Amino acid sequence: MLLSPLLLWLAIFVIVPTAILIVYSFGTSRGPARVDPNFSLDGYKDVFTPTTLRIFWRSIYYAAITTAVCVVVGYPVAYFIGRAPPRWRNRLLLLVMIPFWTSFMIRTYSWILILQDNGLMNSALRGMGLPFSIDMLGQPSGELLGLIYSFLPFMILPIYTSVEKLDNAMIEAAFDLGAGPVRAFGNVIVPLTRPGIVAGILLVFIPAIGTFAITDVLGRRKRDLIGNLIERQFVGRGGDWPYGSALGVILLLIFVICFWLSSRRSSAEFA
């Protein structure tokens, strides 16, 4: 009885939409927003074309870079917050959460005011007398900056949770046994906070693959990611629903594989 609301929510908003997606992926397109129920693999054939595979690899590449930078930047921040005095932790966490107080799209569009040719960044460079400007709008660097900014809190929060639970006795024991700061960090602190790192990687990598709004706005639609390609199949007039559904199914399989690998690794370490 207690689980029934959750099970009902999962059935309506997860299981049923996923089933519809899978059924549509095996349909036949008869024009925009028209799907013939006849069984067909045309959608999956279109997925494995060189152009689509190149977009998949670009999406994975962008997501991997975003995740790596978020780990490098987010871990020190999370560690600092987690080891800060208790009276400061909530205030520091509040600073991390402030971006969530505004709309996701407003935060994305605000980067245009910063990165455009006459934006805050280039105006500051000219004000310092530098003879050059930085053009990031419409460039991969601008897209990656937007992705990192948007997903960094999702890396900080789970790592912070693991850092907060660190047992000081374990760290002190490492120092007592002759370990230096670097060795204690690599052999004690990192393994103890690995669950938070893994959770952060999943929370960043998986949604970063399928995002499309950030790359549309900051990339000026010059390069497609898989999320942009899927969005066009269902929104544009020339959309192909079976093709878009097949892309969604493949993306779902990537998510399942990532989750399975992380769960298997965690189980092996626990054993």
pLDDT tens, residue by residue, 90-125: 889 888 888 888 888 888 888 888 888 787 888 888
Average per-residue pLDDT in the chain?
A: 87
Whether residue 34 is contained in a domain is answered as: no
271 pLDDT band, cuts 50/70/90, is low
- Domain count along the chain: 1
CATH code for the domain in which residue 166 is found: 1.10.3720.10
Region for residue 239 given its phi and psi (left: phi exceeds 0; alpha: psi -120 to 50; beta: otherwise): beta
Whether residue 177 is contained in a domain is answered as: yes
N residues, the chain: 271
Closest by Cα among 24, 34, 70, 50 to 203: 70
Whether residue 10 is contained in a domain is answered as: no
Give the pLDDT score at 245: 92
Whether residue 17 is contained in a domain is answered as: no
Residues forming a β-bridge with 28: 36
- 79 touches 166 (CB < 8 A): no
Whether residue 210 is contained in a domain is answered as: yes
> Which token pair is 28?
């036949």
The percent of residues above 70 in pLDDT, for the chain, comes to 96
Whether residue 242 is contained in a domain is answered as: no
Q: Give the C-alpha distances (Å, rounded to integers) separating 164 from 51, 85, 98, 123, 179.
A: 45, 11, 20, 41, 22
**Cβ neighbours for 219, distance < 8 A, ≥ 6 positions apart:** 138, 139, 140, 142, 143
| pLDDT at 236 > cutoff 80 | no
Whether residue 56 is contained in a domain is answered as: no
Whether residue 220 is contained in a domain is answered as: yes
What residues make up the domain containing 136? 61-227
